[in-house]
Structure 1
Amino acid sequence: MSTTTEPHDPPADPASTPSSAASPGATEPGTLRELPPITTGDRTFQRWGLRTHKVEFGEDLLGVLRTYVPPVVQPGDWIALSEKVVSVCQNNVRHISTVRERWLAKLIVKGVTKYPKDIAWSHPKKMQAAIDMAGYPRMLAATFFGTITRAVGIRGVFWRIAGRVSEIDGFNPDAMWPYTEYCVLPPIDPDGVCRTVADELGVPTTIIDGNNIDVKIISVSPGFPVSKADARLILLDNPMGQDEEMTPVIVVRETRQA
């Protein structure tokens, strides 16, 4: 299955473009940032980043989405939500002052892969938050088996054993404040969130964990129009961004099918 970006495709039919103004540099809440279309297999999808206000801890997620989503979607569209905005609305976060890194966190971060443009897991307090969530026995097992299998060229075992801690985000000095000081934990009941949002808004919904390294589909609502594998390919370039785009919602529309 091939996946390609097509920045030179002809623009979408104006009649099929979301009613809110779409432009590459849209900055006002409720506006759309047009993204390059994506082709996977024989299907092409247009995507827009939907800009919101700065969502605060404990805000009503459905209230936020009711404000911004209905004016821009059409039948057949689906939306992708950042896991961060879901967890922020659930107030499922930890302030850095509540995390005291210990020996295991300091040990693990010495062996994690470092990325030049992403803090990833190089912050020991972020790793400690993962240990606090998963528990020491599980993280010790992940470290032991991950180290052994990595030595023989098998990667990813650590994270498969560690579980959902891979979805933790935060303590990033380059992020928008206050996320420099908070880590955002994995969403609570992501399946239920997707189902509720889809039922309330009438739009198929997925929650994703995206960064500059990879994109993971956390959950999709029942009857989602594409497979999880295709959804990941459609969003693999992390269209939500990592900086201050404030586009925690991506609107996706199929524009061509062979």
Structure 2
Amino acid sequence: MAELELLPIPTRILTNKDDIVEAIVEFAGPYIGPEDIVCVAESVVAITQGEFTRPEDLKVSWQAKFLNRFIHPDGSMASVYGMQAAMDKEGEWKMMFAFLCGAVAKVFKKPGVFYQMARTASLTDDVTGTMPPFDKCIVYGPKQPHAVADAIMKATGAYGACVADVNDLKRAAILGHSRGLKPQQIAQILIDNPFGNDSQMTPIVVIKNYASVSKRKG
């Protein structure tokens, strides 16, 4: 009887000169079956889309310096450059307003409002937040993740595909997925972070036998 299996797929370093769909077909194609789900790390998708910048190319504002004082050192915008990069995408005053709303919400024991309102901020990976050589860059969130997932599914013949944001703190979110998938269920399957964006170079994970296992349990 088929069981669920997480299969990390090794690749070479993927850059903005690569097409993420073509890369997945090249490296993961032989391992993907019609009952499988193909998952790819959001930072790698963003890199192949050119969604990154270098800290030295940013002009840091006083708003970024101010807000950065309140960010946890382990946060996705630990440096002032990460904060400024998010502000350049989201808007400095929108970020300030989101921060104010978040501070008020915390008084009423409702965390996470800042990142809900400033979505770009939650998807920005600061310096060292992704794999070399892009650990010297700030990487934004991917563009059109649902469309990317649909394209992956069609190109590979998989049961489904998703673009995932997962870390080692047992936080997992599905940013984009092909039709018919349950994002919260997929996020729970990936909660232990099977991806390896550093020296492991395994930014693709195939969830084997998902369709048959899901049907059996459903």
Q: Residues 222 and 251 of structure 1: is their aligned pair in 2 closer, same or farther, counting only changes over 3 Å?
A: same
Q: How many equivalent residue pairs?
A: 211
Answering whether residue 117 of structure 2 is matched by residue 166 of structure 1, we say no
8 Å CA contact retained: 1:168, 1:183: yes
- Residue 205 (structure 1) shift: 0.7
Stretches of structure 1 lacking an aligned partner (at least 5 in a row): 1-12, 17-43
Secondary structure of the residue that 1:180 maps to in structure 2? helix
- Residue 242 (structure 1) shift: 5.2
Summarize deviations over 1:73-131 as a string: whole Å, max 9, x none: 2220111111111111111211121112221112212212333xxx5321110011011
Residue in 1 aligned with 2:57? 98
8 Å CA contact retained: 1:82, 1:249: yes
Q: How does 1:21-100 map to 2 (within 5 A)?
A: 45-100=4-59
Instruction: Say which of 152, 174, 193 aligns to 1:217.
Output: 174
Distance 1:62 1:242 in 2: 17
8 Å CA contact retained: 1:58, 1:89: yes
8 Å CA contact retained: 2:38, 2:207: yes
Q: How does 1:210-249 map to 2 (within 5 A)?
A: 210-213=166-169, 214-224=171-181, 227-241=182-196, 243-249=198-204
Q: Residues 169 and 193 of structure 1: is their aligned pair in 2 closer, same or farther, counting only changes over 3 Å?
A: same
Of Structure 1 and Structure 2, the greater strand share is in 1
AA aligned opposite 2:87: I
Secondary structure of the residue that 1:197 maps to in structure 2? helix
TM-score (norm 1): 0.75
Secondary structure of the residue that 1:71 maps to in structure 2? helix
Secondary structure of the residue that 2:134 maps to in structure 1? coil
Q: How does 1:87-236 map to 2 (within 5 A)?
A: 87-115=46-74, 120-172=76-128, 176-203=131-158, 204-213=160-169, 214-224=171-181, 227-236=182-191
Q: Percent sequence identity over matched residues?
A: 24
Distance 2:120 2:37 in 1: 25
8 Å CA contact retained: 1:211, 1:238: yes
Greater relative contact order (Cα 8 A, min sep 6): structure 1 or 2? 2
Kindly report the root-mean-square deviation, in angstroms, between the aligned alpha carbons of the 2 structures.
Answer: 2.0
Stretches of structure 2 lacking an aligned partner (at least 5 in a row): none
- Residue 63 (structure 1) shift: 2.0
Distance 2:141 2:83 in 1: 14
Secondary structure of the residue that 2:38 maps to in structure 1? strand
AA aligned opposite 1:146: G
AA aligned opposite 1:123: S
8 Å CA contact retained: 2:76, 2:122: no
Distance 2:77 2:25 in 1: 34
- Residue 133 (structure 1) shift: 0.5
Of Structure 1 and Structure 2, the greater helix share is in 2
Secondary structure of the residue that 2:69 maps to in structure 1? helix
Distance 2:27 2:8 in 1: 11
Distance 1:236 1:155 in 2: 21
AA aligned opposite 1:232: A
